[in-house]
Amino acid sequence: MQKEELVQLLRDPDICQEIFLIVKNGGKPASASDLNKLSALKKQIKQTSAEKKAAVSDADKLAAIKALLHKKATAESKKAQGVVDAYATMDALSKELSPDKGLDMSKVKDEDEDSVSGVPSDVSGVFADKLALLRSQVKKTNEERDAEKKAAAEKKASTSAAEKYTFVLERPCPVCEQNTHVVKCKSRLIAETTDLDLCIHYKDFNPYLYRVWACEHCGYAADEQKFIRRMPEKTREKLMEFLNSANLAMPFIEERSSEQAIQYLEMAILFNELADPSPNRRANLYLIMAWIYRYDGNAEKEREAMDKAAELFDLSLETENYPVDKMSDTMATYLTGAIHVMRKDYDKATKHLSRIISNQALRTSAPKLFEMARDMWQDVKTAKEKG
């Protein structure tokens, strides 16, 4: 036999096994029994090798799943897309771990129906609770994003309303006499309801935020009607001296928040106290402040502003000569009575409303105001009777 032929035969494991048995039997051919045992042993070796390989493969997959779970469990909740991708990867791996490979898949259960609903039925119980946590994080992140979108939409709608109903122009400041930017409301506002104290609720917009104008140069603030009037020289010099040391100037703000509008109102009230003896004008500023709080639903702050407005209107009716600006004494009397009704001070309300309904001339000169006062007086009378 040639050397090459012998080497080729020895490469065959079956021939090598037979040669081994012949040598073991002292040169005699291997018996059928030995050959059968040898064949069974080879099958057992192959089966054991395959099982070990499968077990190693499953162990590697499970280790990969655990690593992904640990990484995503500690990830930031806002990275929702990353969480979703991690779940998709774990889902794909888990589908390869079948019961016939020796893994126990009977531990899968839904511990929280809200958070693990929809979890694949073949997901191992080893990480089912982790999936519930990830689902919860995804849900929370989606809710946060929805809230952010809603807030952005509301802000956009508010901005659109401001742009729709206001415009910017320049007017000279009555104190420093420099041109300053101011916001003026357009006349096409849509009124929906009117309260007893004549606060009008407009659709999609609150014009009372812009009732006070402020100078961006010196900081002077006043309601629009007073801002555009020429100021007496002595008053102007007094305010200018105060403003030079007060440092109250603020940059121009085209779109105001409620807080900013209240701040401008407080500044206007301050300047009124410094240089204007009229309690009527201060009363109107407090009334506008109350309306802004009413728009915002801040009942406590609204009540405080209403109390101050009522006090100043009472003082004005006792000490001032009317008309004040464009307000008549009849209108001031009605407003004072209405404010006291809303404050549930019925005795003071009756006092002011009675002055209107006892003046029969108002039936023809101010019929709508007379009718409103009469209806309010009747409501107050009924409320007082009920105690």
Give the per-residue pLDDT at 139.
80
Is residue 282's pLDDT more than 70? yes
- Predicted confidence (pLDDT) per residue in 220-265, tens digit: 999 999 999 999 999 999 999 999 988 889 999 999 999 999 999 9
Give the per-residue pLDDT at 119.
45
How confident is residue 103, by pLDDT bands cut at 50, 70 and 90? very low
Is residue 362's pLDDT more than 60? yes
More confident residue, 19 or 103: 19
Backbone angles phi, psi at 244, to 5 degrees: -65, -25
- Predicted confidence (pLDDT) per residue in 288-300, tens digit: 999 999 999 999 9
* Arithmetic mean of pLDDT, 181-195: 92
Give the per-residue pLDDT at 288.
98
How confident is residue 141, by pLDDT bands cut at 50, 70 and 90? confident
Which pTM does this prediction carry? 0.60
113 Cβ neighbours under 8 A, 6+ residues apart: none
243, HSE (Cβ side, Cα atoms, 13 Å):
26
DSSP 250: -
How confident is residue 107, by pLDDT bands cut at 50, 70 and 90? very low
CA distance 121 to 56: 23
b/e code 206-245 from CB counts within 10 Å (16+ = b) = bbbbbbbbbbbbbbbbbbeebbeeebeeeebeebeebbee
Query: Two tokens at 198?
Result: 């004549």
- Predicted confidence (pLDDT) per residue in 24-67, tens digit: 665 555 566 655 655 665 565 566 556 555 555 556 666 766 77
Least confident of 99-113, 135-149, 261-275: 99-113
The verdict on whether omega for the bond into residue 279 sits within 30 degrees of 0, i.e. cis, is no
What CATH architecture does domain 155-386 belong to?
Alpha Horseshoe (1.25)
Give the per-residue pLDDT at 152.
73
How confident is residue 102, by pLDDT bands cut at 50, 70 and 90? very low
Query: Two tokens at 157?
Result: 């709608």
57, HSE (Cβ side, Cα atoms, 13 Å):
13
Helix, strand and coil content of the chain, in percent to the nearest 5, comes to 65, 5, 30
Give the per-residue pLDDT at 353.
95
- Predicted confidence (pLDDT) per residue in 258-269, tens digit: 999 999 999 999
More confident residue, 236 or 158: 236
Percent of the chain with pLDDT over 70: 64
- Helix count and strand count (H, E) for the chain: 15, 6
* Arithmetic mean of pLDDT, 301-327: 96
Is residue 369's pLDDT more than 90? yes
Domain boundaries, the chain: 49-148, 155-386
* Arithmetic mean of pLDDT, 123-145: 71
Give the per-residue pLDDT at 162.
73
CA distance 59 to 93: 12
User: Helix 346-357 and helix 367-386: axis angle, to 10°?
Assistant: 140
- Predicted confidence (pLDDT) per residue in 328-353, tens digit: 999 999 999 999 999 999 999 999 99
Give the per-residue pLDDT at 8.
60
Give the per-residue pLDDT at 145.
82
